[in-house]
């Protein structure tokens, strides 16, 4: 697990690094500057339909931007981008 970013921050970055995301990311995980630009441009457009969720998402994005801005391109290149899950993300069902 990445110790620099939270699970939510990693997952948000994964969304923006997916070529088919609606925010215009190109799937290029090599450019910290592009990720910062894409995330910055979209932060005001988050609309989940729930104002509280929108505010939480904007806070996660803002925290992510601060962390991305404070790291080097070399550190960014060393990150592994894949969605991470917490134990509470999995539910067993009987069936």
Choose between 85 and 94: higher pLDDT.
85
Least confident span in 23-37, 52-66, 73-87 = 23-37
> Is residue 78 included in any domain, yes or no?
yes
Residue 90 in this model has a pLDDT that exceeds 60: no
Instruction: Confirm whether 93 is domain-assigned.
Output: no
- Residue 41 counted as domain residue: yes
At residue 84, the pLDDT reads 60
Q: How confident is the model at residue 85 (pLDDT cuts 50, 70, 90)?
A: low
Domain coverage including residue 35:
7-85
Residue 92 falls within a domain, yes or no? no
- Name the pTM for this structure: 0.74
80 is a domain residue = yes
> Is 90 within the bounds of a domain?
no
Domain count, the chain: 1
Per residue in 17-40, pLDDT (tens digit) is 766 555 555 555 558 898 898 899
For the chain, give the secondary structure using H, E and C. Answer: CCCCCCHHHHHHHHHHCCCCCCCCCCCCCCCHHHHHHHHHHHHHHCCCCCHHHHHHHHHHHHHHHHHHHCCCHHHHHCCCCCCCCCHHHCCCCCC
Inside any domain, residue 43 = yes
Phi/psi at 69 (nearest 5 deg)? -70, -25
Distance between CA atoms of 32 and 72, rounded to whole angstroms?
8
Distance between CA 82 and CA 80 in Å, rounded? 6
Whether 38 maps to a domain, the answer reads yes
pLDDT of residue 93: 47
């Amino acid at each position: 697990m990445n110790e620099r970013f939270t699970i939510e921050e990693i997952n948000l970055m994964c969304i923006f690094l997916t070529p088919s995301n609606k925010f215009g990311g190109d799937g290029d995980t090599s450019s910290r500057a592009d990720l910062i630009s894409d995330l910055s441009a979209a932060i005001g457009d988050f609309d989940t339909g729930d104002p509280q969720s929108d505010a939480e998402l904007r806070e996660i994005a803002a925290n992510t931007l601060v962390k991305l801005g404070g790291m080097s391109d070399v550190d960014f290149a060393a990150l592994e981008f894949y969605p991470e899950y917490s134990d509470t993300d999995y539910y067993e069902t009987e069936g």
